[in-house]
A and B are shown apart, each in its own frame.
Chain A
């Protein structure tokens, strides 16, 4: 399991994957089955293909719109292919589907062959299949059991047609005679409906040209008995129809047998079409969101320059707010992020997980530059109620997951923990946090913690949110809510401050801005001063 403890849900991976637009059923399967890469070379070659597709997409937009339309029109044939492989005789509709598929492959080739270097992801032409299912080479994507398939079929059909014509001519003469004689309307199939009260009723009953068929709505239905007088012709016609039918059956068996040898080529093409579609979706996503190809490294340095948390940036944009891109350099061992509430620590933590997850799954990433070492797994713990559904308190949930993660820290994981031990008393919470981070500092994983505890940063890489350091309360913009004002004044930048062990104290001013009453605020300020005089409780 690459994502541990519902990490994919907590990172909003589904939201991100929703941005990858897929056109075909096969691309959809590919996307649903998306898997992480653990092999650098395989990932790099996928990235090479994406670079190629992006380059072509930007140059030939119209071609790719057409490609998408062809992909949309390619239908699910995996059921038919299974039946073909099992030796089942296919139906007309199934032959049609295979023909349409082969034509779709041809269209994709026509569109993409002129472009550069896309051969690796192009489906392979099904020339033989086209020949088999389009024997007249008329390039029309419809299907029936063509005359060309068998001489017997062709001749039988010609005979049927000729005979039918003769019969039709005779019928026309007979119909018109009978119609005149009895003042009747005869349907094209030779049926007449007549009421028993009709003056001709008795005569018709006696007339051998008519056969009783049924009776409903008080009307008697007769059919013109073509066997009478034409019995030889009708016998011959029925015989011919039998031959036609059995010959068609033979053709279907023969076609099914011929097509069976192309099962593996069909399957390979299904795979290629799925891949092409998926890469196209990923490439369009990369263009729309300005994603970049990350540098995949063998080391342990995970560096992000101007990284963007896509779900949050999208939401802020809808609210008319701007997202501040984040820089951070992580390495093996533990890093700690401290700083203001509302300073975006959780958002930045998720950003790291998202970029790692996207890179490892073969997507480009939302940043200016990223250096990413492939991971064995990703784990994130953020304050939510996921674990409570298992009957565990948030603290218990966190400890259950962490104990498993800590045991596997010899593997190369990415461990992200938001406000470690937030769910318990500050003294013990601090003690547990510090010992966990100390322990993981020596592990093979890249570990990032956010914390409000002073002192936990000792001996670790320490990042601080710049926060409200430069806040100017006189600068509040009128007509904007406190939240909007806070967002504007907040500096989300992460600064590396390894020498600082104290965490910034901005909770009280933020609470004040958010409207907590004056009496409480001034009391809180007093307690804070007392506390600091009496030495740091946490240390």
Chain B
């Protein structure tokens, strides 16, 4: 199956995120790069913050490096380009900084392996994507992240691939259920009113409560974590929405549901900011939790890696089928399918 053909022209930027380390995200990325090579399509590549290390820093399992071909555009930190084997043309040096030097945009001139360390912010990712498009990239692939610390969100990409796999659990049911739960969160629907007000809160990184007349009470808290007592002081009878700009956990959602009995809907920046387990989430839904996002994520596919670094593996066809039954409109790809 040639996937890249279906993506070119339809999307400008695609973000790849993984449910867990070793979910096969980098394998999918390399697969797309290979396909682009066969199809003679110019790609732009970058990542959110750190990624593309030779060895996975957590599990120490071998992690495929990002392989690039002549003509590919790459946005990465300057010191990672000081490698003898790399041949490239420097196109732009940005003012985006990392501990490894500024983010530089280059056009590769040889077939080589590169390490990607891209910008950490939404603004930075948007900027390097735009630059690479201007220099001729047909599609920009962003090696993304799904964690609490990343400030750059997959929501800013036109399309998102979620990678999942056996690394998540020994129990295939668990893998299927957790993945479907994550898909649900990622595909949460956008709030329909007062979008510009919520956008402003997000830009200012502020928690805010909106009442039925659209008035906003800004709460000065760094995160929503353990904010129960503070929220209590601000929630009124006529409160309608509560907006959180950053990561939101079960305890915060529980605080809101317990304090308001579901009368106040939670709005988060996007579905990748929610960190609540499936059972807890369903418990809260039963208690009346209403939840919306500001920016919808356009999930276009799920990739599965049937192998776990711990040695066990699933029958990839069964795993694939079980996911496809539940999410009929998504592409489900086995990254190791030959």
Name A residues whose Cβ lies closer than 8 Å to a Cβ of B: 75, 91-93, 95-97, 100, 142-144, 183-185, 187-189, 193, 214, 216-219, 245
Contacts and interface: CB of A to CB of B under 8 A. Distances in A.
A100 B90 CA distance: 11
A95 B69 CA distance: 23
Contact of A92 (B61, B90, B95): B90
Contact of A93 (B61, B90, B107): B90
Contacts of A217: 22, 305, 307-309, 313, 336
Top 9 closest pairs, chain A to chain B, by CB: A217-B307, A96-B90, A144-B89, A185-B338, A188-B37, A142-B91, A143-B90, A218-B307, A218-B313
Nearest to B305: A217
Contacts of A214: 62
B93 interface: yes
B123 to A, nearest CB: 16
B142 interface: no
Interface of B: 22, 30, 34, 37-38, 61-62, 67, 69, 78, 81-82, 84, 87-93, 95, 104, 107, 109, 111, 305, 307-309, 311, 313, 336, 338
A93 B81 contact: yes
A183 B338 CA distance: 9
B193 to A, nearest CB: 32
29 contacts: A92-B81, A92-B88, A92-B90, A93-B93, A93-B104, A96-B90, A100-B93, A142-B90, A142-B91, A142-B107, A143-B89, A144-B87, A144-B88, A144-B109, A187-B30, A187-B34, A188-B69, A188-B111, A189-B67, A189-B111, A193-B336, A216-B61, A216-B62, A217-B307, A217-B313, A218-B307, A218-B311, A219-B307, A245-B84
Nearest to A244: B87
A309 to B, nearest CB: 32
Contacts of B311: 218
Contacts of B38: 188
Most chain B Cβ neighbours within 10 Å, of A96, A214, A219: A96
Contacts of B30: 187
A43 B111 CA distance: 59
A185 B30 CA distance: 14
Contacts of A95: 90
Contact of B90 (A144, A218, A219): A144
Contacts of A187: 30, 34
Nearest to A97: B93
Chain B interface mostly = mixed
Given A93-B104, A217-B336, 9 more contacts: A92-B88, A143-B89, A143-B90, A144-B89, A185-B338, A188-B67, A216-B309, A217-B313, A219-B307
A187 B30 CA distance: 10
Contacts of B89: 142-144
Contacts of B104: 93
A100 B104 CA distance: 14
B93 A96 contact: yes
B232 to A, nearest CB: 36
B140 to A, nearest CB: 19
Contacts of B84: 245
A90 to B, nearest CB: 11
A217 B64 CA distance: 12
A142 B62 CA distance: 35
Nearest to A192: B338
A29 to B, nearest CB: 16
A273 B244 CA distance: 45
Contacts of B81: 91-93
Nearest to B78: A93
Nearest to B135: A142
Contacts of B67: 188-189
B34 A188 contact: yes
A35 to B, nearest CB: 28
Contacts of A188: 34, 37-38, 67, 69, 111
A218 B308 CA distance: 8
A507 B67 CA distance: 81
Contacts of A216: 61-62, 307, 309
B32 to A, nearest CB: 12
Most B Cβ at <10 Å: residue of A97, A187, A188, A214: A188
Contacts of A219: 307, 336
Nearest to A144: B89
A75 B90 contact: no
A214 B61 CA distance: 12
B287 to A, nearest CB: 41
A326 B37 CA distance: 73
B92 to A, nearest CB: 8
A111 to B, nearest CB: 21
B206 to A, nearest CB: 24
A179 B67 CA distance: 21
A452 B93 CA distance: 62
Contacts of A184: 338
Nearest to A187: B34
Nearest to A146: B89
A193 B306 CA distance: 14
Contacts of B313: 217-218
Nearest to B84: A245
A218 B314 CA distance: 11
A501 to B, nearest CB: 55
A95 B89 CA distance: 11
A47 B34 CA distance: 62
A173 to B, nearest CB: 16
Nearest to B70: A164
Nearest to A217: B307
A34 to B, nearest CB: 24
B82 A91 contact: yes
A193 B334 CA distance: 13
A183 B34 CA distance: 18
A189 B81 CA distance: 21
Contacts of A193: 336, 338
Contacts of B82: 91
Contacts of B111: 188-189
A188 to B, nearest CB: 5
Nearest to A194: B338
A228 B292 CA distance: 59
A245 B84 CA distance: 8
- Name the residue in B81, B89, B313 with the highest tally of chain A Cβ atoms < 10 Å from its Cβ: B89
A193 to B, nearest CB: 6
Nearest to A184: B338
A193 B89 CA distance: 32
A2 B313 CA distance: 76
Contacts of B307: 216-219
Contacts of A142: 89-92, 107
A495 B61 CA distance: 85
A78 to B, nearest CB: 14
Contacts of A92: 81, 88, 90
A119 to B, nearest CB: 30
Contacts of A75: 93, 95
A436 B220 CA distance: 51
A118 B87 CA distance: 42
A189 B88 CA distance: 19
Contacts of B92: 142
A262 to B, nearest CB: 19
Contacts of B90: 92-93, 95-96, 142-144
B109 to A, nearest CB: 7
B134 to A, nearest CB: 12
